């Protein structure tokens, strides 16, 4: 049981380049999430998807787009990377209510130069 997987683990981009971060879960969860974690800070929600076919903005959506490809997969795209997007990105999926606990992937460390 792999849980939540993310690719790539590390990425270096130049300003203006684009890339897509991939996330997949094998726990049959409806809800999936993308967070970013900056040094010395907690996690901030970028986008989430409550179910297949739906996506909603979180706290810091600017500069990002998402796609919920199917129930398993939820991708995050940076169309034109900026140094301010240097961060560690985590994908998560969650158990339905009442439990609501989230399971996290190992993260993608992104550096934009």
Partner 1 sequence: GDSVTQMEGPVTLSEEAFLTINCTYTATGYPSLFWYVQYPGEGLQLLLKATKADDKGSNKGFEATYRKETTSFHLEKGSVQVSDSAVYFCALNNAGNMLTFGGGTRLMVKP
Our CB check for partner 1 shows the closer of 17 and 52 to be 52
Q: Which residues make Cβ contacts (< 8 Å) with residue 104, sequence separation at least 6?
A: 4, 90, 91, 92
Our CB check for partner 1 shows the closer of 17 and 43 to be 43
Our CB check for partner 1 shows the closer of 17 and 44 to be 44
CB 68, min distance to partner 1, A? 13
The residues binding partner 1 (CB under 8 A) are 4, 31, 33, 41-43, 45, 48, 50, 58, 90, 92, 94, 97-107
**What count of other Cβ atoms lies within 10 Å of the Cβ of residue 98?**
5
């Amino acid at each position: 049981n792999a849980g939540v997987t993310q690719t790539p683990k590390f990425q270096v981009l130049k300003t203006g380049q684009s890339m897509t971060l991939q996330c997949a879960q094998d726990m049959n969860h409806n809800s999936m999430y993308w967070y970013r974690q900056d040094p010395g800070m907690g996690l901030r929600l970028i986008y989430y998807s409550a179910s297949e076919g739906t996506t909603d903005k979180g706290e810091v959506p600017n500069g990002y787009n998402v796609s919920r490809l199917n129930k398993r997969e939820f991708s995050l795209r940076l169309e034109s990377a900026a140094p301010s997007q240097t961060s560690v990105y985590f994908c998560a999926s969650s158990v339905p209510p009442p439990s609501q606990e989230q399971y996290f992937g190992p993260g993608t460390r992104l550096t934009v130069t």
